[in-house]
Amino acid sequence: MNSKPNDSQKIAHGPLVVGVGASAGGLEAFQGLLKALGDSPGIAIVFVQHLDPSSKSLLSELLKSSTSMDVVAIKGRRAIKANTIYVCPPQTLLELRKGFIRIAKTNEGVQRGDAATPIDHLFHSLAEDQGDRGVGVILSGGGSDGTLGLKAISDRGGLTFAQDSRSASHESMPRSAATTGQPPVKRGAVTWPSADTPSRRITCDAVIIRIFMSVDRET
C-alpha cells in the first residue's frame, strides 16, 4: 500500500500561508504587522507591493530591520517554510503550487490580465492552492488591487482581513477590500475550518487572532 502523502495532505500539514498586499505606501503597516506577530509566529508570510512599473523596491532590505524572521526575495521556485517572509520582486507575479512559491511566467500573467494586479494574482493562487486554509490581508494602499483576490479566498472558505481605512495612510485599497462582503471577524471567536485536532485548533486560532488584532490596531 502506498503510504506517501497526497498533495492535500502535504498542504494540510504545511505551514499556514498568509498573503499580505499593500501599495508603495504600506511599508509602515507591514512593519507594524510584523512587530505584532513576533519573531516565530509559525506561519509563512508572502508580501506583495503594488508598485509603479518604474519603481525599485527595497522592501526586502527594509523588512530585515523589522524582524528576525528570514526575509527572502523570490527568485525562481522555493519550498514554503514557516517563520519566513517571502517578498515579491518588482514587476513580478507570484503564485503558490503544492507547497512551493514561484515566479509566474510573464505570458501566464498577461493572459489572465493580472500583470497590473500582482496582489490579486497571488490571492487567487493562494485560494486555489490552500482552499479553506488560505489567509489574505490588505493593508494601506491606493487603488483596488487585492479586492477580487480576497473574494476568491473567502469563496474557498479562507479568512480575509483589511486594515481599518481610518488608520491607513492610503485608504482606498483597504476600503475597496471591505466591499467583498466577507463577514467581520470577532476577536476571540475565530475558528479554523480545516483543523483536525483540538491542539491544532488552538494553535491556529492564536495565530489568526494575532493577525486580526494587529491589522485592526495598526498598525
Give the cell for residue 167.
488608520
Flag whether 37 is in a domain.
yes
Q: Is the pLDDT of residue 33 over 50?
A: yes
Q: CATH no. for residue 63?
A: 3.40.50.180
Residue 44 — pLDDT band, cuts 50, 70, 90? very high
* Three state DSSP letters for 192-215: CCCCCCHHHHHHHHHHHHHHHHHH
Flag whether 84 is in a domain.
yes
Flag whether 97 is in a domain.
yes
- pLDDT, position 207: 60
Residues in the chain: 219
- 28 near 140, Cβ under 8 Å? yes
Q: How many C-beta atoms lie closer than 10 Å to residue 179's C-beta? A: 12
Instruction: Look up 39 and say whether it is catalytic.
Output: no
User: The domain containing residue 95 runs over which residues?
Assistant: 7-217
Q: 114, 120, 129, 145: which one is catalytic?
A: 145
Helical (H) or strand (E) element with 27: helix 27-37
Flag whether 59 is in a domain.
yes
Instruction: Look up 13 and say whether it is catalytic.
Output: no
Helix (H, G, I), strand (E, B) or coil at 89: coil
Q: Is the pLDDT of residue 184 over 60?
A: no
Flag whether 1 is in a domain.
no
Q: 50, 121, 124, 170: which one is catalytic?
A: 50
- pLDDT, position 182: 54
CA distance 144 to 140: 11
Residue 192 — pLDDT band, cuts 50, 70, 90? very low
Instruction: Look up 172 and say whether it is catalytic.
Output: no
CA distance 166 to 214: 14
Q: 23, 57, 140, 214: which one is catalytic?
A: 23
- pLDDT, position 105: 76
Residue of 59 and 185 predicted with greater confidence: 59
Flag whether 2 is in a domain.
no
- pLDDT, position 81: 94
Q: Domain total for the chain?
A: 1
CA 53 to the chain's CA centroid: 21
